[in-house]
Chain A
Amino acid sequence: MSSRIAVAVTVNGQAISAFVEPRTSLADFLRNDLGLTGTHLGCEMGVCGACLVLLDGKAVHACLMYAVQADGQTVQTVEGLSESRAIADIQQVFHERNALQCGFCTSGMLVTAHEFLSKCQDPSRAEIRDALSGNYCRCTGYEAIVDAIAETARGRADRAGIPSQAEQAAKSDAEETPS
């Protein structure tokens, strides 16, 4: 067994210094050492997206990284994003629209949604479905999640006073509905 290595990482705004085994994944470090169990493990091979966290603001698979690789960087997990209210509107719409069942995929979905909506303000449904291509959900069939992300985007646009493309498109579609 190899000896432990020091890591210094800022997790959800808190400076953490710890000694970890080199083979400890970032996900195991967050879950087992820091008790941040909102980050889930569904495949441990970078496929399902249940373990997504933000590393220096970018979504990464915590199952694919070693904790030591996060040294000197900042990590945000679903717990931190919740407490800072950065994703409060997404969470609220997910709740109202029932965009989760068992909730095991949910943290990863929220991280993806958060990153996606920060880059794309007015997404189409196809773009949202595309953005979810690294997130498995076995329960919902995805539609409610797509609805919730679209609804969050609309809500943000409304609050910013921007008319949404999708709304305009839907309107013109309705006007020329074929008989």
Chain B
Amino acid sequence: MTGSLGPLDRPNTYIGRSVSRPNAKRLLAGRGRYVTDLQLPRMLHAAFVRSPYAHASIASIDISQAASAPGVHLVATGADLAKLCKPWVGTLDHFSGMKSPPQQPLAVGKVVWAGQPIVAVVADTRAQAEDAAELVVVDFEELETVADIDAARAQGSPLINPEIGGNVSFHLKVESGSIDEAFRAAPAIVESTYLFGRHTAVTLEPRAIIADYDPSEERLTVHHATQTPYQFQDIYSRHYGLREARVRVVAPDIGGSFGMKLHVYHEDMAVVGLSIMTGRPVKFVADRMESFVSDIHARDHRVSARMAIDADGTIRGMDVNDVTAIGAFSSYPRTSVVEGNQVIRLIGAPYRFRNYRADLDVVFQNKVQTSQYRAVGHPIACAVTETLVDHAARNLGLDPFEIRRRNIITQDMYPYTSPTGYKFERLSHEACLEKLYALMDYPRLRREQAALREKGIYRGIGIALFVEITNPSPAFYGVGGARISAQDGAIVKITPSGEVHCLISVGEHGQGTETIIGQIVADQLGVDCEAVRVFTGDTDVTPHGGANWACRGAGIGGETALQAARALKRNVLAVAAAILQARSETLDMRGGQVVDAESGNARIDLAEIARIAYFRSDTLPHDVSPQLTASHHFAPKGFPFAFTNGVQACHVEVDVETGFVEIKKFWVVEDCGRIINPMLVEEQVRGGVVQGLGAAFFEECLYSDNGQLQNGSLADYLVPMAGEMPDIEIAHVETPTRDTELGAKGCGEAGTAAASAAAMNAVNDAISPLGASISQIPMTPQRLLRALGHA
């Protein structure tokens, strides 16, 4: 289903073309400038003393030896930084009743997770800072660790945050329709309890920050590997009492972020304070071990779910209970309850049943904080829904495609409001399902599967529909009181030689934002792509905006750029009209030339207009005042979110003797609305799928009962490698949103959203003839052997 084409679909448009990323050439030549690479004059380095215990009170800290170690400039404790930094609390008003304790940069009085920073050492070199950190002596009194979600909620459990009076941060119940009735008379009920392991982002560039405070101007510059520089400008300013206009956050090249680099981290807040205390630039780069114990983790959910089904496969309703463990406090400024909230609101999203009930419990434990990471909540909601649908299909003898066809929300039902209140403008489940069926040659795979089973080879095919939240309006965070912008801004200007600069608040960290923004500006203005230079990621230069979270770069940033470029074009044509003594409606701009709109004949070069406007304005009529810079801000106004959808399929072979799974092939059909650059969309999807497959098969932060991370190094924590990953075939359906002129929605999280669900369905399809099933990820060989009854 494609919306009206309009001016974006004319021939020669840049929109819809696979343009390569101009900025990638720099990275390919080793000329990237990551925060990790930066060295500033008089720069110092910070290292942290971290807690070896998951839960302990701090009896005393002795910094005397460290303070006199070679190269050391400052040793700061929690109490020192607390004098400068206002504490933060990770709650939001729209999560009513939510609780979380105030946070300080460094531990004060007690520690609540193993790895929590306690003391900061600032020295001339990093090695000196690390050496001196070893000389700090901290006396702990160990407390009982709360590591398990059931123990945490049991009567008499030790309290992680006694001031809150319990280990539960948040509870939410949603209910719609008549769930008890739906189950009472149901001919079939399927149910399962799922475990979704804790995992983490593992960006290849670890977190990195340089804070540079200049006391003479009371000015703070922070070079920060972050997705959200404007959010951090606000946070540093408010928590350190600095004037906002004197706080500058620069996000240069970033070595991966995936949602992990938009949260407040204790070390980052500390580094700002350390720079204020020393009056010099202070750098901190987490090493990989530190990343594992201090970057946010994600998931860690236990979901019990059941589904009531009619004999013909119609889903009647779902009843769900999600318990999630978030660490010792809720993250800031987005909270740690968003994932659970999205899990229970996205379950069942592709389907039209109306009876739904869900309970969510968000629990504290002595581990590092969890929070938003790529596809927040989606993989869990998707896996629970899609594995139950497959389970139902198996019980009823229906094909997985057929049961989905019978239950999806169809074209005649839009706009559609889900039982949990999500409003879908228009999705394309039928088209995606049918496209996938053909793309993967489903009947052939089934025939092959049957033939191989005779020979004792266990292949499985799994499909998973998904719905993804993109283009978030202020309904996401703003309404809860978070100072997180849902709008973005762009400034587009013509240089004196007739080239184009675009400054925009959405950022670049490899997904290709600068490229697609350049395509949109070139297209809408009527100039060559090569003439447009896009600049991102500096709060002193680029307009204020939300930047990159929840899939908004193309949808919101793109629309902002489109509107700014159109405004600039109007201005350019007005000047051209004055010069040519024509009416501006009769003119157009193409390929950097003002042309006669009807005939296409060239009238005047953009460079000539710029020359006259900037250097010979005296030759223009009195009432013409050229405005060759235009700006525009845009926030979504219609639907609160632009939902996207799609379907994924996974083909596996399970070695039932060893529990090893070979992922043979993967397919995705996705609908992210208007596609600006197909190659970049596909690469986002592929990268997303592989992160989802990582969660499905390999990635898990394993903890001991006393809260120690057992596999916190890249040698022990498994991430997907080239040899284990399949080729991923992708096809598109385009349903542009009508809320914007551009019609684009997000695509960065789509791959991750359903990959683990498709993988679980494929594995279960492979092992179901043996009467086995698995409902826990990662599906490690040991767990599969256990499921197969071998262990």
List the interface of chain A (C-beta within 8 A of B): 1, 21, 23, 31-32, 36-45, 47-48, 50, 77-79, 82, 91, 94-96, 98, 100-107, 110, 125-126, 128-130, 132-133, 135-146, 178
| 25 A-B pairs (CB sep. < 8 Å) | A38-B29, A38-B30, A42-B205, A42-B714, A43-B715, A45-B715, A48-B714, A95-B24, A95-B28, A98-B512, A101-B512, A101-B687, A103-B510, A104-B34, A104-B255, A107-B30, A125-B727, A133-B723, A135-B722, A136-B714, A138-B719, A142-B721, A144-B683, A144-B686, A145-B722
User: A106–B680 contact, CB under 8 A?
Assistant: no
With A1-B70, A41-B36, A102-B205 known, 13 other A-B pairs at CB within 8 A are: A38-B31, A40-B34, A40-B204, A47-B715, A82-B28, A91-B28, A95-B21, A101-B510, A103-B253, A104-B34, A136-B204, A138-B258, A140-B690
CB distance from B71 to the nearest CB of A (A): 9
Number of A-B contacts (CB under 8 A): 177
Judge if B531 is at the interface, Cβ distance under 8 Å.
no
User: B203–A138 contact, CB under 8 A?
Assistant: yes
Q: Who on chain B is nearest to A42 by CB?
A: B204
Contacts of A133 in B (CB 8 A): 721-723
Q: A98-B24, A146-B722 are in contact. Are A103 and B255 (CB under 8 A)?
A: yes
User: B30–A137 contact, CB under 8 A?
Assistant: no
The complex places the Cα of A106 from the Cα of B258 at a distance, in Å, of 18
The complex places the Cα of A129 from the Cα of B722 at a distance, in Å, of 5
Q: A103-B32, A136-B714 are in contact. Are A141 and B686 (CB under 8 A)?
A: yes
Contacts of A78 in B (CB 8 A): 29-30
The complex places the Cα of A145 from the Cα of B683 at a distance, in Å, of 11
Q: Is the contact region of chain B dominated by helix, strand, or loop, or is it mixed?
A: loop
Q: Which of A38, A94, A101, A144 is the one whose CB lies under 8 Å from B511?
A: A101
Q: A23-B127, A31-B37, A47-B714 are in contact. Are A104 and B722 (CB under 8 A)?
A: no
The complex places the Cα of A47 from the Cα of B204 at a distance, in Å, of 11
Contacts of B297 in A (CB 8 A): none
Q: Who on chain A is nearest to B690 by CB?
A: A141
The complex places the Cα of A48 from the Cα of B721 at a distance, in Å, of 10
List the interface of chain B (C-beta within 8 A of A): 20-21, 24-25, 27-34, 36-37, 39, 70, 127, 131, 201-206, 253-258, 287-288, 444, 509-512, 679-680, 683, 686-691, 713-715, 719-723, 725, 727-728, 751
The complex places the Cα of A50 from the Cα of B32 at a distance, in Å, of 13
5 residue pairs, one from A and one from B, having the closest CB atoms: A38-B30, A103-B27, A101-B510, A104-B255, A102-B510
Contacts of B687 in A (CB 8 A): 101, 138-141
User: A136–B30 contact, CB under 8 A?
Assistant: no
CB distance from A3 to the nearest CB of B (A): 13
Q: A40-B255, A139-B687 are in contact. Are A82 and B29 (CB under 8 A)?
A: yes
The complex places the Cα of A43 from the Cα of B719 at a distance, in Å, of 13
Contacts of A96 in B (CB 8 A): 20
User: A136–B256 contact, CB under 8 A?
Assistant: no
CB distance from B774 to the nearest CB of A (A): 24
Q: Which of B24, B28, B205, B679 is the one whose CB lies under 8 Å from A40?
A: B205
Q: Who on chain A is nearest to B444 by CB?
A: A178
Contacts of B722 in A (CB 8 A): 128-130, 132-133, 135, 137, 142, 145-146
Contacts of B287 in A (CB 8 A): 44
The complex places the Cα of A78 from the Cα of B32 at a distance, in Å, of 11
CB distance from B772 to the nearest CB of A (A): 29
The complex places the Cα of A31 from the Cα of B317 at a distance, in Å, of 59
User: B28–A94 contact, CB under 8 A?
Assistant: yes
The complex places the Cα of A137 from the Cα of B411 at a distance, in Å, of 39
CB distance from A29 to the nearest CB of B (A): 13
CB distance from A40 to the nearest CB of B (A): 7
Contacts of B721 in A (CB 8 A): 132-133, 136, 142
User: B204–A98 contact, CB under 8 A?
Assistant: no
The complex places the Cα of A60 from the Cα of B727 at a distance, in Å, of 28
Contacts of A37 in B (CB 8 A): 30, 32-34, 36-37
Contacts of A44 in B (CB 8 A): 287-288
CB distance from B284 to the nearest CB of A (A): 14
The complex places the Cα of A145 from the Cα of B728 at a distance, in Å, of 13
User: B28–A138 contact, CB under 8 A?
Assistant: no
Contacts of A139 in B (CB 8 A): 204, 256, 510, 687
User: B683–A98 contact, CB under 8 A?
Assistant: yes
